[in-house]
Amino acid sequence: MITLYQFWSHYLVEHFEWGMFEEFRQQALSDLAREPLCALGLKHLVAFYESVLAKKARYHWMLQLRRIVHEAAVLAGCQLEEVHSSRGRLHNVQ
């Protein structure tokens, strides 16, 4: 799996494919759930996100990041409030 994680984390930065990305993401999270001490897949997934963001991510990356932030906010019991600058603020929902 190490070689596959390395491939995905480098290849997808330049040649993004949604299906391959979803397989990468799901496999990394699945591996982490099975073996919490083995975060190798997650490490490569984070490295992938860092590489994409360092390259001044394209528009679809920003949409993906927004979706992830929104999901995290919902899981944390917060909601994302849109503001005019297209940034968001998080606040607790009672």
Q: Name beta bridge partners: 80.
A: 90
Structure-block tokens of residue 82: 């849109």
What pLDDT score does 79 carry?
A: 54
Do residues 61 and 21 touch, judged by C-beta distance below 8 A? no
What pLDDT score does 58 carry?
A: 64
pTM attached to this predicted model: 0.57
What pLDDT score does 4 carry?
A: 96
**Average pLDDT, consecutive stretches of 10 residues, N- to C-terminus, the chain (94 residues):** 94 94 94 84 91 72 76 66 45 44
| Coil vs helix vs strand at 36 | coil
Return d(Cα 27, Cα 20) in angstroms, integer.
Answer: 10
| Coil vs helix vs strand at 75 | helix
Question: Where along the chain do its domains lie?
Answer: 1-57, 58-94
